[in-house]
Chains A and B, each alone.
Chain A
Amino acid sequence: MSVSAGFRILLMNELSVVALLDDPVRRSLYDYVAVQSHAVSRNEAAQAVGIQRTLAAFHLDRLADAGLVDVTFRRPDGRSGPGAGRPAKLYQRATTEHQVSVPPRDYRSAAELLAEVVDVTGAEPQLQRSARNRGASAGRAARRQAPAEPDADLVTGALTAQGYQPYPDGTDIRLRNCPFDVLASRYPPLICGMNLALLEGLLDGAGVAALNASLDPRPGDCCVVLRESRDSKTNLD
């Protein structure tokens, strides 16, 4: 098999997986399941999306067959042994990544090489400066588009657009998805530091003084959390 034929098969496999999300119902089910911190039952997903349970079950199983969501089985809390009923089928976002690029591009390999070089040469301070500038420029652009938008909405919108999947956690904004996951697990201080600088820059550029970015990793989440800054809290009190 030629190299280009091998690539074509790989692309078609990835393409057919990603194409499953072209269906609007499946897409909204996936979007709901992907941002939850817990494994989701068929009932919960059906209610969240506003469809029948059997339809939700059908589409969730299609997503599971393609590997876009993982399946676990669990009995309701406190019930076990005979008579406890069938365990519920639960769904959560799979960690496997799927990429489709036409024509073929491979930015990940380039990024891994560049990260290694930054790591080896100790160029992290410069990486953090560049990341802060880039974040600030994204923050200024977001603010220009929506000058009157409340800070929290503006930030949530910008983070959603960049794939962070933000969700509220008390007064904090936490991020369900790390857009740099593969790199971050290989070079945590380097990539998490870069990510923190990007988000500090974003807040700064958007003129959002009420939120502070800091590192506070949690299992499954991005390593950065956005918290109300102490200064703004004093101002509000």
Chain B
Amino acid sequence: MNGYHLAQLNVGLARAATDSPVMAGFMAGIEPVNALADAEPGFVWRLQDGDGPGATALRPCGPDLMINMSVWESLDALRDFVYRNGPHLDFMRRRRDWFHRMPDDHLVLWWVPAGHVPGVDEGLSRLDLLRSQGPSPLAFTFHDPYDAPAEAAAIHRCTPAPLPATRSDHA
């Protein structure tokens, strides 16, 4: 484990208001699915507000755009939850019932120092960066992932692995 965690932000353009029948399936599923995320190995943190399930009441980008943000111990931990957790995968499968497909990137990933809780502004500026410059170590996607800074540095380091301690035990 290195000193970095993976943050993700994604935004969704809802097809209707959260109290509309169109969104009923999504609104009913959000709390059980969030509870699964909380219990998932490698989950660290997720954005919440007091006014609706999950972060559904937060609208930093205007009334139609819903956001969701979380932090995970690793890219694999997040990927396992998003794509290999049955109920969440099923949620993803039905996402077009509830959200419009957006022409721009709607999900961004970036590394944060372990313990850092990213703010919404930080997440939105990473999304802007991804949209304007394409994937980079500062803002990337599942399709074009980048290693955490410490891991990337380790690849170029040539320090030999520490020797087993047995010899000095006998000395």
* A residues less than 8 Å from B82 (CB atoms): 188
* A residues less than 8 Å from B84 (CB atoms): 217, 219, 223
**Cβ–Cβ contact A217 & B97, under 8 A:** no
* B residues less than 8 Å from A120 (CB atoms): 101
Interface residues of A in 201-233 (CB under 8 A from B): 214-217, 219, 223
Interface residues of B in 87-129 (CB under 8 A from A): 89-90, 92-97, 100-101
Bound CA span A186–B144, Å:
11
Distance (whole angstroms) from the CB of A215 to the closest CB of chain B = 5
**Cβ–Cβ contact A189 & B86, under 8 A:** no
* B residues less than 8 Å from A215 (CB atoms): 86, 89-90, 93
Distance (whole angstroms) from the CB of A126 to the closest CB of chain B = 10
**Cβ–Cβ contact B89 & A188, under 8 A:** yes
Q: Which of A120, A189, A196 gathers the greatest number of chain B CB atoms within 10 Å? A: A189
Bound CA span A124–B98, Å:
12
Q: Indicate if B170 sits at the interface (CB-CB under 8 A).
A: no
Q: Indicate if A193 sits at the interface (CB-CB under 8 A).
A: yes
**Cβ–Cβ contact A124 & B89, under 8 A:** no
**Cβ–Cβ contact A216 & B86, under 8 A:** yes
Interface size class of B (residues with CB under 8 A): 10 to 19
**Cβ–Cβ contact B100 & A214, under 8 A:** no
* B residues less than 8 Å from A214 (CB atoms): 86, 90
Bound CA span A234–B171, Å:
72
Q: Indicate if B18 sits at the interface (CB-CB under 8 A).
A: no
**Cβ–Cβ contact B83 & A189, under 8 A:** yes
Distance (whole angstroms) from the CB of B144 to the closest CB of chain A = 12
**Cβ–Cβ contact B97 & A189, under 8 A:** no
Bound CA span A186–B100, Å:
21
Instruction: Output the nearest chain B residue to A184 by Cβ-Cβ distance.
Output: B83
A125 touching B97 in the complex, CB below 8 Å, given contacts A188-B83, A217-B84: yes
Bound CA span A103–B153, Å:
47
Q: Indicate if A122 sits at the interface (CB-CB under 8 A).
A: yes
Bound CA span A219–B94, Å:
22
A192 touching B101 in the complex, CB below 8 Å, given contacts A186-B143, A215-B86: no
Q: Indicate if A4 sits at the interface (CB-CB under 8 A).
A: no
* A residues less than 8 Å from B90 (CB atoms): 214-215
A217 touching B96 in the complex, CB below 8 Å, given contacts A122-B101, A188-B83, A189-B83: no
**Cβ–Cβ contact A189 & B89, under 8 A:** yes
CB-defined A-B contacts under 8 Å, sample of 28: A120-B101, A121-B101, A122-B96, A122-B101, A124-B93, A124-B96, A125-B96, A128-B93, A186-B143, A188-B82, A188-B83, A188-B89, A188-B92, A189-B89, A189-B92, A192-B89, A193-B92, A196-B93, A214-B86, A214-B90, A215-B89, A216-B86, A217-B83, A217-B86, A217-B89, A219-B84, A223-B84, A223-B86
- Using A189-B93, A223-B89 as known contacts, list a sample of 12 further A-B pairs with CB atoms less than 8 Å apart, ordered by residue number in A: A122-B100, A122-B101, A125-B96, A125-B97, A128-B93, A188-B89, A193-B92, A215-B86, A215-B93, A216-B86, A217-B85, A219-B84
